[in-house]
Amino acid sequence: MSKEIKLGIFGILVITATVFGYRFLAGENLFGTSKYYYIFVDNAKGLIRSSPVSSKGFQVGTVTDIAFVVDKQGESKVKIEMRIDEPVDVKTDAVAEILETGFVGGKAIRLNINAKSIAPSAKSGATLKGRALGLLEAMVGSPEELSPYTDILKNGLVSAYDTIAVQAKDPTAPGVGKVFYDMDIILADMKVTTRNLNRLIANSNQQVSLVMADLASITNNLKQSNAAITRVIDNTASLTAKLDSAGLDETIVMTNDAIAALKTTLVSTNQSLASFDKILVNANSGDGSIAKLMNDPDLYINLSNSLNNMNYLLQDFRLNPKRYVGLSLFGKKQKKYQLPKDDPTKQN
């Protein structure tokens, strides 16, 4: 066998395996006999190809096709094709219901088959009756199925209401009866309070009318004074603009600087005065030379005499310098000192 024939056979096998694998993944029964049925509904939202078809909680097939068609009456419908793989006897009066599989799940189809029905079996390709169920109906069933339960609930509620109504009139009744009795008293008090409140509001209507009249008068006065108020606002705006253009900010800054400098000067002055005051305190207390000069008379007299003697010495030096400087270039003898006639020491 040549390589070309082997390659051709291998290609045919790959294609065949691909087709059958795709059909198997799509949910088709490759090795069994299947029957196909159709339903028409107005809305198939959430239903997809390969959605399960079940009967009595057991999956018997899948949805194989969903198409949008127009029937003979010109109405738009959704055509759904179902493939039934299990040996289920589908009657012609069976109903296919589209329902929710859960709050977050998808859609599925449920076949309702009446085993006691005498209707003939539906052949493959037949059209069945179909309808879409809501979430609540899919969970609890049809209203006809719920009717016995609702009757029981209604009777129980009526009996409970009658019991509560009797206990609500008895102040000694325990439990819920006591609660309703107290609620009746509270409601009666609320009626009285509401009646009194209505009477109070009716009596105060006149005062409210007077207050509203006063408010209207005030509003009218403000309206008449609108021009004057406008002028005041304009004058204020003009004054603000003038102050802004006058460089008031710079003046304030300079004033603040001057005040700060004056504060510094006052601080220095206070410090100097404090130092001077300390000196005066020391002088008055007798400590230091200044205190002795101010408080010791002997020291003052001696100092005064010393100054007078210094004055006499300087005056004598000025009048008789030769008495103190005895220089001679030619060896000349020093003349004898003669006491001046106007000796200041002799004047006192």
DSSP per position, 222-287: HHHTHHHHHHHHHHHHHHHHHHHHTTHHHHHHHHHHHHHHHHHHHHHHHHHHHHHHHHHHHHHHT-
Confidence of residue 136 (pLDDT cuts 50, 70, 90): low
58 within domain boundaries:
yes
As a whole-number percent, the residues of the chain with pLDDT over 90 amount to 7
287 within domain boundaries:
no
Global pTM exceeds 0.75: no
Confidence of residue 326 (pLDDT cuts 50, 70, 90): low
As a whole-number percent, the residues of the chain with pLDDT over 70 amount to 75
β-strands 35-41, 95-100: how paired? unpaired
119 within domain boundaries:
yes
208 within domain boundaries:
no
User: Which tokens sit at 125?
Assistant: 């390709």
Domain count, the chain: 1
pLDDT at 67: 92
Range of the domain at 122: 33-141
Calculate the alpha carbon distances from 3 to 13, 147, 158 in Å.
15, 75, 89
176 within domain boundaries:
no
pLDDT at 248: 66
85 within domain boundaries:
yes
105 within domain boundaries:
yes
pLDDT average, residue stretch 342-347: 57
